[in-house]
Amino acid sequence: MTQSKLRMGMVGGGQGAFIGEVHRLAARLDGQIELVAGAFSRDPDNSAATGALLGLDSSRCYVDFEQMMQAEAALPEESRMDFVVIVTPNHMHFPVAKAALQAGFHVLSDKPATLNLDEALSLRDLVERSGKRYALTHTYLGYPLVRFAREIVAAGEIGNVRKVFVEYIQGWLAAEVENKQAAWRTDPARSGPSGCMGDIGTHAHNLAEYITGKEMTHVAADLSIFVEGRALDDDGSALFRMQDGVKGVLSASQICVGKENSLSIRVFGETGGLEWHQEEPNSLIRTYSDRPTETIRAAQGYLPDSVSSGYRTPPGHPEGYLEAFANVYLDFAQAIREGRDVATGVAGAVRGMAFVEALVASSQNQSVWTEIDA
């Protein structure tokens, strides 16, 4: 039976934006999603020019997201967009998601979900009342070997989890940077209460919870500003506690000179451990107490169907960031069709914002242990 494509609208991602084209590439990789509408920029000329370059009908390139929601909702059901993807700076995530949900559209949003925890709690209520699907683009959960690591832990194959080390370090903000991406990420009005931790620390938090299957409950944090004049943290570290007595260490930094996109995680249980690095995503290292260390490789025949189905090429043909991003889109498309939630849904969105606010509160209070209250 022929399956029609889901129709996507995009808010943000106009010319000069970084992540918009990445989203568009990922969304169309598996042929299940079609971009049909957009409000791509606050600049109407930019939005129109972006739509023209993408070959969209000019009548569906909107001046702003409010106009987009109203006009799309008025279209016949068989032609209006099915969902909205939000690729704006953080301060616009909640207003756009709220408008989309109230207009009857599913929502896929860049993270963090909102500017603050109060907005996240309001978002949760909106999602529950709407009955629509909501998810965050936590891209790294799209890597098949990350999903395999979760399955190994859930099956008890490393015993009860004891310790987690997770870090996400970059160097692109090691000095003052003057560009669009740096400008909004270092502005509290557009980024929220945290810079580095809100931007990439949330990915580390999400990855730790996903692989272990445990929620983080408390943090003792130390956030820093190394580049003079910045209003938000560009570096931070935290001890953390999780459910069932799991302990861990989380570090995130954007001032580590020479580092590119170094996200890594190590999980240790009673009888074994797992290690994964985003810059080498096609290997999962597995350690044992009674035998040599293994390196599990991508797309191999020994992987279960639940993992191997996430690959598009044979072993030895490396798949990376775009393919992982496409898996996130594929999961969301399937969730819409099946009427089910996804792993990166609104509950995780609220926990992510509670995590950020707990970090900030702890750091401002001499790193005292602080509950993550979601």
pLDDT digits (tens, 9 = 90+) for 92-120: 999 999 999 999 999 999 999 999 999 99
Provide the angle, in degrees to the nearest 10, between the axes of the packed helices 93-102 and 65-74: 20
Q: What is the mean pLDDT of residues 186-214?
A: 97
**Residue ending a domain, choose from 76, 107, 139:** 139
Mean pLDDT of the chain: 96
Alpha helical stretches, state H, the chain: 19-28, 44-53, 65-74, 93-102, 117-130, 144-154, 180-185, 188-191, 196, 202-212, 305-308, 321-338, 346-364
Q: Are residues 168 and 308 in the same domain?
A: yes
Is 227 a residue whose pLDDT tops 60? yes
pLDDT at 178: 81
**Same domain, residue pair 191 and 252:** yes
State yes or no: pLDDT of 3 exceeds 80: no
pTM, two decimals, is 0.96
Looking at the structure, tell me whether residues 151 and 131 fall in a common domain. Answer: no
Residues 103 and 91 in one domain: yes
Going by pLDDT thresholds of 50, 70 and 90, the confidence category of residue 221 is very high
Same structural domain, 79 and 14: yes
pLDDT tier for residue 250 given thresholds of 50, 70 and 90: very high
Distances (CA, A) of 189 to 115, 176, 196: 8, 19, 15
Distance CA 102, CA 96 (A): 10
On whether both 114 and 150 belong to a single domain, the answer is: no
Least confident of 12-21, 92-101, 124-133: 12-21
| Bridge pairing between strands 280-288 and 235-242 | unpaired
CATH code where residue 222 lies = 3.30.360.10
Q: Do 155 and 38 share a structural domain? A: no
Distances (CA, A) of 176 to 43, 172, 258: 26, 9, 15
- Give CA separation, 317 vs 76, 80, 85, 285, 314, in Å: 43, 38, 29, 19, 6
Q: Is the pLDDT of residue 1 over 60?
A: no
Identify whether 300 is part of a domain.
Answer: yes
Residue 236 placed within a domain: yes
| pLDDT at residue 17, rounded to an integer | 86
Residues 98 and 183 in one domain: no
Tell me if 330 is assigned to some domain. no
For 48-92, the DSSP string reads HHHHHHTT--GGGB-SSHHHHHHHHHHS-TTTS-SEEEEES-GGG
Which residue, of 139, 165, 190, is where some domain finishes? 139
Verify that 248 and 265 share a domain, yes or no.
Answer: yes
- 236 and 286 belong to one structural domain: yes
Q: Which residue, of 105, 139, 173, is where some domain finishes? A: 139
Are residue 96 and residue 245 in the same domain, yes or no? no
Number of structural domains the chain divides into: 2
> Quick one: pLDDT at residue 343?
85
We report the CATH number of the domain holding residue 113 as 3.40.50.720
Q: What are phi and psi of 221, to 5 degrees?
A: -115, 155
The pLDDT of residue 2: 60
Residue 86 in any domain: the answer is yes
Residue 158 above 80 pLDDT?
A: yes
Q: Are residues 37 and 149 in the same domain?
A: no
**Residue 40 is assigned to a structural domain of this protein:** yes
Range of the domain at 77: 6-139
The predicted pLDDT at position 148 comes to 98
pLDDT in tens, 284-324: 999 999 999 999 999 999 999 999 999 999 999 999 999 99
Segment 339-366 shows an average pLDDT of: 96
